[in-house]
Amino acid sequence: MTEFDKALSVVETPIPGLLIVELPVHGDSRGWFKENWQRAKMVAAGLPDFGPVQNNISFNDAVGTTRGIHAEPWDKWVSVATGQIFGAWVDLRAGDTFGAVFTAEIDPSRAIFVPRGVGNSYQTLADDTAYTYLVNDHWSADAEYSFLNLADETVAIDWPIPLSDVEISEKDKAHPRLADVIPVGPRKILVLGSSGQLGSALRAALGDQAHIEYATRENLDLGADDLTAARRWRDYDTIINAAAYTAVDTAETPSGRAAAWAANVAGVSALARVAAENGITLVHVSSDYVFDGTKAGAYAETDPVCPLGVYGQTKAAGDAVVAAVPKHYIVRTSWVIGEGRNFVRTMAALAERGVDPKVVGDQFGRLTFTEDIVRAICHLLDVDAPFGVYNVTGGGEVRSWAEIARSVYQLRGHDPSRVHDVSTEEYFADANLPVAPRPRNSVLDLTKVTSIGFSPSDAEESLAAYLAVAESAS
């Protein structure tokens, strides 16, 4: 018997993410009415904003019709329009709760949210039961499914009507026992730009787990016409975009300008479209070059962008595109140091060769080591931080490039006074190629990222550790 006029409420179950929902049903002598899915109210009550794209109805003529146990690679919102069911759900996801069972009766005044990878099954308790469900992906023969036998002795579902007395398809009877079920893995993480210095650091930190994929421009072209069909994108939870055109000076040339806009704007736009259409979290790495460097203090995430050169313009445009993706993190950083050729390695090499370099002394910021960026990205994802822009750099004192160079010399056992300050104009006075304008102030305010529990490493301490590792490897 349908219960009328309940208050909308969401109740957790022992299976993580599986949520029972009590629904308000309003009835009179004419019948009843309910809002079966009302996004604003239900998200406010605690349900995921899961983005349904398809509505299916399964009509069951007789009591005892039994279907399942099916785990699909999408989320489901299950309810009944008429009749009543006994539902049984089994967690078939890899993890500590694999094999956990939850059962409940569902009538028009109760629904259940079934997360991806949780096996779904039911038995009708009334004739003419209309079982309805919303899903956030279209059915696909290419999707990966998992199944469990309705009679599995391990989960031991206490069916109201014995399975020997009910209508079950031969296909459902043939599903494997729990010991033979392949657990459903997590949704995938895709790292773009995996051959670059940040991409290499991400690979080192994330490893080669089955659900993590790495791609370079050679095996995933963001400019391809068929990008939307290049992957089954609904299987992906997160894309980390560590790819970018970063040749800031070459970007000032005609060919470089075209390449920078193609990679940093057109490619990012295509990626943003994929993320938005498929409910993917897009993590995008930005740059201090989106600012002109004239601010007296540190730049906050809310400061308006004002790029000086082509590279900065393309990064600012890419950021604007990513900001339109519903689930996004823009990680804005500066003065990045990782594996491969970089400023720190160059200064260390000059010190060893006995060179007394002239280094820019009127640009200020903090070094950011790729390991810190990786830690910040992982932290944002792990704590489900509010979406938006986050500044991420090393912590500690603000330094000029010349001061950092002197630290490198000193840490390598050389006289830091061998490093001589010059202005930006003096440094580039003899350049034969176009030179991109640099922001003089690249200091980013770290208040927002620290407020969500992230602790940036002291840049000077990171520099010492980086040089120690580099020296031991040489």
Predicted local distance difference test score (pLDDT) of residue 349:
95
Quick one: CA torsion of 87, 93, 96, 99, rounded to 10 degrees?
40
Q: Is 188-473 CATH 3.40.50.1950?
A: no
**Residue 214 annotated in active site:** no
Residue 144 pLDDT class (50, 70, 90 cuts): confident
**How does pLDDT run across 98-123, given as a tens digit for each residue?**
999 999 999 999 999 999 999 999 99
Judged on CB neighbours under 10 Å (0-12, 13-18, 19+), 138 is: exposed
- Which regions of the chain carry the CATH code 2.60.120.10? 9-180
- Which regions of the chain carry the CATH code 3.40.50.720? 188-473
Say whether the peptide bond before residue 69 is cis (omega within 30 degrees of 0): yes
pLDDT of 470 above 80: no
Radius of gyration over every alpha carbon of the chain, rounded to an integer in angstroms: 28
Residue 474 pLDDT class (50, 70, 90 cuts): low
Q: Report the pLDDT averaged over residues 378-396.
A: 97
Q: Report the pLDDT averaged over residues 318-332.
A: 98
**How does pLDDT run across 170-209, given as a tens digit for each residue?**
999 999 999 999 999 999 999 999 989 999 999 999 999 9
Q: Report the pLDDT averaged over residues 293-315.
A: 97
Residue 473 pLDDT class (50, 70, 90 cuts): low
Predicted local distance difference test score (pLDDT) of residue 432:
81
Superfamily of domain 9-180: Jelly Rolls (2.60.120.10)
- CB neighbours of 78 closer than 8 A, spacing ≥ 6? 87, 106, 111, 112, 113, 114, 120, 131, 132, 133
Of residues 70, 145, 211, 379, which has the active-site annotation?
A: 70
Let me know: does 69 contact 88? Beta carbons within 8 Å.
yes
Predicted local distance difference test score (pLDDT) of residue 329:
98
Let me know: does 77 contact 111? Beta carbons within 8 Å.
yes
Q: Which of 266-280, 328-342, 422-436 has the lowest mean pLDDT?
A: 422-436
Mean pLDDT (the chain, rounded)? 95
Pairing of strands 76-82, 110-114: antiparallel
Predicted local distance difference test score (pLDDT) of residue 1:
62
Structure tokens at 187: 């949704």
Q: Report the pLDDT averaged over residues 59-84.
A: 95
Let me know: does 470 contact 342? Beta carbons within 8 Å.
no
Pick from 172, 178, 183, 180: which is nearest to 145 by CA? 183
- CB neighbours of 9 closer than 8 A, spacing ≥ 6? 21, 22, 45
- Strand partners for 134: 55, 77
**How does pLDDT run across 404-414, given as a tens digit for each residue?**
999 999 999 99
Of residues 131, 133, 299, 409, which has the active-site annotation?
A: 133
**Residue 329 annotated in active site:** no
Let me know: does 81 contact 132? Beta carbons within 8 Å.
yes
Residue 270 pLDDT class (50, 70, 90 cuts): very high
Residue type, 39: R
Predicted local distance difference test score (pLDDT) of residue 469:
85
pLDDT of 472 above 90: no
Structure tokens at 142: 């290419």
- Strand partners for 129: 60
**How does pLDDT run across 6-31, given as a tens digit for each residue?**
899 999 999 999 999 999 999 888 99
